[in-house]
């Protein structure tokens, strides 16, 4: 009996010392299946592949349009010269500022600039940025082609635009399929808006495609 009691006491002590479960990281927009919320976006998003598609980031100014919780902005800021993280509400802009202050050394906080935009205007000046990034954002803009035309003057001559969005397929993760922007539709839209297609990648990411374009004749 004493042996059984000792074994029980040891088991109880071990169970009480188990570490707390790891916090769930930001799963991204519109996770439809609750089981997917435990998946690490850092794994399925594969940010390194997206950042490689953006090209050389050193001494570049990046506009992260629809920055959300700062998934990419916080990764880009230590590398790029400056990241303009654009969102549509004061609360999101304030949250991005909190991320900047918490994660960047005081001398480098100027590299991350949260900015309040409008639904039809990111509030970018002409020739202000080298790279424009849209991740899971363009499909939610009411008039995406007009918006692409709107941001074109903000890109410098050698600039590029990188669009990462949900594949138009049935998947457990992401928004409803009929709400998604098909890769071919995006390609046509970019051409009409005045861009030159550089690359379309429908394979590197499990759930999303990556389309890269630059200024026509840039």
pLDDT in tens, 119-143: 999 999 999 999 999 999 999 999 9
Structure-token pair, residue 95: 């949250």
Supply the pLDDT for residue 202: 96
What pLDDT is stored for residue 8 in this prediction?
34
pLDDT score, position 194 = 96
Q: What are the tens digits of pLDDT across the range 86-103?
A: 999 999 999 999 999 999
Q: Say how far apart CA 151 and CA 90 lie, in whole Å.
A: 21
Residue pair 31/166 in contact by the 8 Å Cβ criterion: no
119 close to 88: Cβ distance less than 8 angstroms: yes
Any bridge partners for residue 131, and if so which? 62, 160
**Residue 20: pLDDT above 90?**
no
Q: Is the pLDDT of residue 25 over 90?
A: no
- Residue 23 zone, left/alpha/beta (φ > 0; ψ -120 to 50; rest): beta
Name the pLDDT band for 216 (thresholds 50, 70, 90).
Answer: confident
pLDDT, residue 179, reads 92
**What's the pLDDT at 44?**
87
What pLDDT, on a 0 to 100 scale, did the predictor assign at position 26? 39
Tens digit of pLDDT for each residue in 165-207?
999 999 988 899 999 999 999 999 999 999 999 999 999 999 9
How far apart (Å, rounded) are the C-alpha atoms in residues 130 and 155?
A: 6
Pairing relationship of beta strands 208-215 and 195-201 according to DSSP bridges: antiparallel
User: What is the band of 155 on the pLDDT scale with cuts at 50, 70, 90?
Assistant: very high
Model confidence, pTM: 0.81
Query: Looking at residue 41, what is its pLDDT?
Result: 82
**pLDDT of res. 217:** 62
DSSP-assigned beta bridge partners for residue 200: 211
The domains of the chain, with CATH numbers, are: 27-215 (3.40.50.150)
Spell out where the chain has E strands. 61-65, 82-87, 112-116, 129-135, 155-166, 195-201, 208-215
């Amino acid at each position: 009996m004493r042996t059984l009691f000792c074994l029980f006491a040891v088991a109880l002590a071990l169970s009480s010392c188990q570490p707390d479960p790891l916090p769930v990281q930001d799963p991204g927009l519109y996770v439809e299946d609750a089981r997917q919320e435990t998946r690490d976006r850092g794994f399925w998003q594969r940010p390194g592949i997206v950042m490689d598609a953006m090209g050389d980031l050193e001494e570049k100014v990046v506009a992260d349009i629809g920055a959300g919780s700062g998934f990419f902005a916080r990764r880009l800021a230590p590398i790029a010269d400056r990241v303009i993280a654009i969102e549509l509400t004061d609360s999101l802009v304030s949250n991005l500022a909190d991320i900047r202050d918490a994660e960047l050394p005081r001398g480098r906080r100027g590299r991350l600039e949260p900015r309040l935009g409008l639904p039809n205007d990111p509030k970018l000046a002409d020739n202000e940025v080298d790279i424009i990034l849209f991740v899971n954002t363009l499909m939610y803009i009411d008039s995406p082609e007009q918006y692409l035309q709107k941001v074109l003057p903000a890109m410098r001559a050698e600039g590029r635009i990188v669009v990462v969005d949900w594949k138009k397929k049935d998947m457990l993760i992401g928004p409803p399929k009929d709400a998604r922007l098909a890769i071919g539709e995006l390609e046509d839209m970019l051409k009409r808006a005045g861009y030159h297609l550089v690359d379309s990648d429908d394979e590197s990411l499990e759930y999303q495609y990556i389309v890269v374009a630059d200024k026509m004749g840039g």
